[in-house]
Structure 1
Amino acid sequence: MGESSVFLTRILDVLLDGGDQVAFAHRSRSTTYRETFDTLRRLHATLKSEGIAPGQLVAITGENAPETILLQFASQLLGARVVHVDGARTDLVELLEVDHVLTTDPQGPPVTSRVARGPRRNEDAPLPRAIETMFSGDGTNLVCYRDVYEDMARSTQPHPDGPQRVLLIAPLSHPIGNRLACKALLAGDTVVLHERTAGTGSFAAANLVGEA
């Protein structure tokens, strides 16, 4: 049935092999690649138990936290399409008729199922061939990315001088911030999430910073 997604395959490999290297620095918490892989595996099991299936549309809302992008990966591993939505845009969630809403907001449930249009994923089903990641723009417009993540996985390699620290001033729910974070993880770097980022926003930048 064709090859598996290069992006998802590489993400799994780097998280599994990254060991004690720090993957995310967020607030006062540092998370290693090994811990990040364990979190992804736990989220994947939770989403599978909720019935998330190939082809379904999953909306992700919540904080600019590592779990935001890990929910994205976990959903895509199950073959779902992902759209990042500003937490204030509940109207867009309704307009898109999403199947599930995932959130990193600790005050709410992690998964809210709306419509279960598809069957549960087969336990032995292979990885999807490609991923689809969408972002809410102005009004009801969506920005959709497919091949860009696959191309990024093929071209991104670790830095010859060793892991870097990448300060991310863009929300993970923004297409620029999301891609920069994915690229940093693929390179084995540390993603330092900026405290002030929230919502989808339009301002995005990333800088290499020295060791703390």
Structure 2
Amino acid sequence: MGDSSLFLTRILDVLCDGGDKIAFAHRSRSMSYRETFDTLRRLHATLKSEGISPGQTVAITGGNMPETILLQIAAQLRGARVIHVENGVPLDDLQADHVLSSDPDGPLLLAGNGAKTSHADIVMPGKVETLFAVENGEPVRYDETYEELARTIEPHTGEPQRILLIAPMSHPIGNRITVKALLAGDTVVLHERTREPLRSASAQGPGE
């Protein structure tokens, strides 16, 4: 376990042990830590069946919802690098093996390279890497950031604090706030988002 990512180890422990505390809240929808952990397990199993494996790159789009950060963690548990995509960044510019959507109303797998790898379980990765493909700027890279948060963020005792998330999880700031809140056992209150699905250039009609 000494070579395992401390971030992944801690986040799994927090989600598994959180019980009925609310992890995410958005309007009438809420997810307890137990439900969040179960959702992560289901997403991980799905990514495993899709052949997502160590060394691959997974792009994630979909907006401010629990599944966005859970897809990130599930892909990282598979040993993949993650790229978060904001609205306005064309999908065709990405060098990704798979493109996933966290929108529960749409398909999970938007695009893939068709390659299938072994479905055998993998050893916990030693590190994670996330890139943020922000509009009109160079990608921002997080790796040691997560490990540092796992080393420094302590769980809050008593009732969880409510953390209002306005920045999108696909942005470095919103992503870091979400991770910090979960590591502390707090509740992430999701700000209303605008639904603007990303489109690839090939999906655009003439004159668009």
TM-score (norm 1): 0.85
> Take 1:196 and 1:75, find their aligned partners in 2: how far apart are those partners?
24
Write out aligned runs for 1:17-28 (5 A): 17-28=17-28
- Is this contact kept in 2: 1:56–1:117, CA < 8 A? no
Identity %: 62
> Take 2:155 and 2:137, find their aligned partners in 1: how far apart are those partners?
37
- Deviation above 6 Å: which 4+ runs of structure 1? none
Q: Which amino acid aligns with 1:134?
A: L
Q: 1:115 to 1:196 in 2, by over 3 A?
A: closer
Give a deviation string over 1:133-161, Cα, whole Å, max 9, x none. Answer: 11012436211111010010011002245
Question: What is the aligned counterpart of 2:170 among 158, 173, 177?
Answer: 173
Where 1:134 maps in the other structure, the secondary structure is strand
- Is this contact kept in 2: 1:156–1:187, CA < 8 A? yes
Deviation (angstroms), 1:197: 6.4
Give a deviation string over 1:163-188, Cα, whole Å, max 9, x none. Answer: 21111111111100101110000000
TM-score (norm 2): 0.87
Q: Which sections of structure 1, spanning at least 5 residues, go unmatched?
A: 200-212
Write out aligned runs for 1:95-174 (5 A): 95-115=93-113, 119-120=117-118, 122-123=120-121, 125-139=122-136, 141-160=138-157, 162-174=159-171
Q: Which sections of structure 2, spanning at least 5 residues, go unmatched?
A: 197-208
**Residue 61 of structure 2 aligns with which residue?**
61
Q: Which amino acid aligns with 1:101?
A: V
Deviation (angstroms), 1:117: 5.9
> Take 2:105 and 2:185, find their aligned partners in 1: how far apart are those partners?
32
- The size of the alignment, in residue pairs, is 196
Is 1:191 matched with 2:188?
Answer: yes
Q: 1:154 to 1:121 in 2, by over 3 A?
A: farther
**Residue 199 of structure 2 aligns with which residue?**
none
- Is this contact kept in 2: 1:61–1:85, CA < 8 A? yes
**Residue 202 of structure 1 aligns with which residue?**
none
**Residue 3 of structure 1 aligns with which residue?**
3
Q: 1:196 to 1:63 in 2, by over 3 A?
A: closer
Q: 1:88 to 1:184 in 2, by over 3 A?
A: same
**Residue 36 of structure 2 aligns with which residue?**
36
